[in-house]
Amino acid sequence: MYKGKKIGLFIPTLNGETKIKFLLEQIKRSGKLFDQKLAIDSESTDNTVKLLHDANFKVQVIKKVEFTHGRVRKRGLDELSNCDYVVMGTQDIQPFDNAFLNLVEFIDSHQKMASAYGRQLVNEKIGTLYEARSRKFNYPDYDMVKSQGSIGPLGIKTIFQSDAFVVYNVKIAQALGNFPEAIDFAEDQYMAVQTILKGYTVGYTAKAVVYHQHNYSLLEEYRRFKAAGRFNKKYKELLSHFGTNESEGCKYIVDEIKYYLKSGNILKIPKFLAIIVAKYLGYKVGERSN
């Protein structure tokens, strides 16, 4: 299906030596899928850059102070602009089976699709049950094609996607204006907003699977959602087309409490509620910040 198309791969990196080895091995196993491989590194002090060179990546190094999530991804798309599709990932994902191939084949089968993201699961030997449950809520076991017609049934989830494991149609992404350089949080959501509002589609395929876990502390959850609150405040007018986060958040909380009760994990409920409080407080502080 994608034969004759040029496929690029882009990964931003920072001191990823201990995390990236598995990913590089899976990239190697993908054979000749990728025509070009690019990494933008933010002054790693370990062997990350060497590992990338050994894996036949072109590596560009930028100063840490220059890094924003929008800037590096914009630069990645610009550098790989001669490709038809660019797969983006983070250095800590663990692709499963034919994840890269399945993701590329999915977007290639949908003409108006600007981007498609894959399914993220948690390796429960490494990650927490809380994060595993959150992943299952956000990444279902069925494919989706989200468009303007999805806003009614899906609301804010219409514009959910993750640049931890995603593929972009380069021509469409460039036509949408590419990533804003200044944006440093939710750059993937921003691109999904532009995609939907301008009549293209966002795809999700459950057949392209990666393991991905963070094990955030309560303080880290607070900081992340503070950034989310700032993002929602800044782009309030754009996001208003898709409803609010509150209803989806309430649904998630109710579903999770029911799960912990039915599964006999009652003692996990206090920690779960602490996580929710940290996220909520962070979000509200972010909304009120300048």
Q: What digits encode the pLDDT tens for the residues 103-141?
A: 999 999 999 999 999 999 999 888 999 999 999 999 999
What is the token pair recorded at 237?
A: 């007018």
Last residue of a domain, one of 215, 246, 272: 215
Q: 145 with 234, same domain?
A: no
Structure confidence at residue 58 (pLDDT): 98
Spell out the residues 6+ positions from residue 254 whose beta carbon is closer than 8 angstroms to its own.
Answer: none
pLDDT in tens, 167-225: 999 999 999 999 999 999 999 999 999 999 999 999 999 999 999 999 999 999 999 99
Q: 227 with 207, same domain?
A: no
On whether residue 1 sits in a domain, the answer given is no
**Contact present, 204 and 143 (Cβ < 8 Å):** yes
On whether residue 16 sits in a domain, the answer given is yes
**Contact present, 194 and 176 (Cβ < 8 Å):** yes
CA distance 65 to 42: 8
pLDDT confidence bin for 289, thresholds 50/70/90: confident
CA dihedral 104, 108, 109, 112 (to 10 degrees): 130
As for how many domains the chain has, the answer is 2
pLDDT of 1 above 70: no
Global pTM?
0.95
Task: Find the CATH number of the domain harbouring 177.
Answer: 3.90.550.10
Q: Which domain holds residue 16?
A: 7-215
pLDDT of 2 above 80: no
Spell out the residues 6+ positions from residue 167 whose beta carbon is closer than 8 angstroms to its own.
Answer: 85, 86, 87, 88, 103, 104, 106, 107, 115, 116, 117
Q: 85 with 201, same domain?
A: yes
pLDDT of 51 above 70: yes
pLDDT of 3 above 90: no
Last residue of a domain, one of 162, 195, 215: 215
Measured CA to CA in angstroms, residue 216 lies from 13, 77, 95, 219, 257 at distances of 19, 29, 21, 8, 20
Largest CA distance in the chain: 54
Give the β-pairing of 165-169 and 113-121.
antiparallel
pLDDT in tens, 66-113: 999 999 999 999 999 999 999 999 999 999 999 999 999 999 999 999
CA distance 165 to 139: 12
CA distance 11 to 25: 14
CA distance 179 to 197: 15
* Paired residues of 41 in beta bridges: 13, 61
CA distance 131 to 196: 28
Q: 51 with 180, same domain?
A: yes
On whether residue 158 sits in a domain, the answer given is yes
* Orientation angle between helical segments 269-288 and 129-138, nearest 10 degrees: 60
* Paired residues of 118 in beta bridges: 205
Q: 70 with 181, same domain?
A: yes
Q: 81 with 203, same domain?
A: yes
- Is residue 208 helix, strand or coil? strand
